[in-house]
Amino acid sequence: MADTESVFSINEPDPDHPGWYQWKLSDPDCYNSFLGAMIIRRGGDGIADNIARIRMFPERRHRNLTDAVHGGTMLGFIDCSLFAAMRVLELGPAGFAVTMELQTHFVGAARLYEPLEAQVEVVRETGRFLFLRGLAVQGDQENMASYSAIVKKPPPQKSGQK
């Protein structure tokens, strides 16, 4: 883990989910905290190693009026998963990266109290941009949303900066 990344996130093995790591910001007052506990890993369970997997655990506070996961919660989770994917896939520091575009297609109502997983893969990487795509799934890989995104990577650090 790069020194600058440790300012932004805590990434330790999750004792309740072997093979997974906790993903949380070191500042509990940031937006991500609203999403609750998140865990991350690379591939596994028949999913290729080039796929970052990020899970959240939807609670009552994430619901809409129909007792499904609110679309805004799903969008926020998908957006946060892009940066967690940068960490999992070792694509450089995510702390100062910026979402430039996020296109999302909802195809199912995500359920409360059941893990919601974002699966993120890199379509292309350039010097300044990441082109990503993925699925948000629940249960036995049931598709809740598909998405594509462009993330602008942070500028390279000058030597001697932290």
- 6, containing H or E segment: helix 3-8
SS (H, E, C) 36-59: CCEEEEEEECCEEEEEEEEEECCC
First to last CA, the chain: 13
pLDDT of residue 25: 79
97, 83 contact by CB (below 8 A)? yes
Reading the block at residue 21, the tokens are 């790591």
pLDDT of residue 30: 84
Ramachandran angles phi, psi of 28, nearest 5°: -70, -5
- 71, containing H or E segment: helix 71-88
Give whole-number Cα distances, 106 to 9, 50, 93, 100, in Å. 29, 24, 29, 20
Distance CA 155, CA 152 (A): 9
How many other C-beta atoms lie within 10 A of the C-beta of residue 151?
A: 25
pLDDT of residue 3: 45
Reading the block at residue 127, the tokens are 């010097």
**pLDDT 10s per residue in the chain (162 long)?**
344 555 567 689 999 999 999 988 778 888 888 999 999 999 999 999 999 999 999 999 999 999 999 999 999 999 999 999 999 999 988 878 999 999 999 999 999 999 999 999 999 999 999 999 999 999 999 999 999 999 999 987 765 555
Domains of the chain: 3-152 (3.10.129.10)
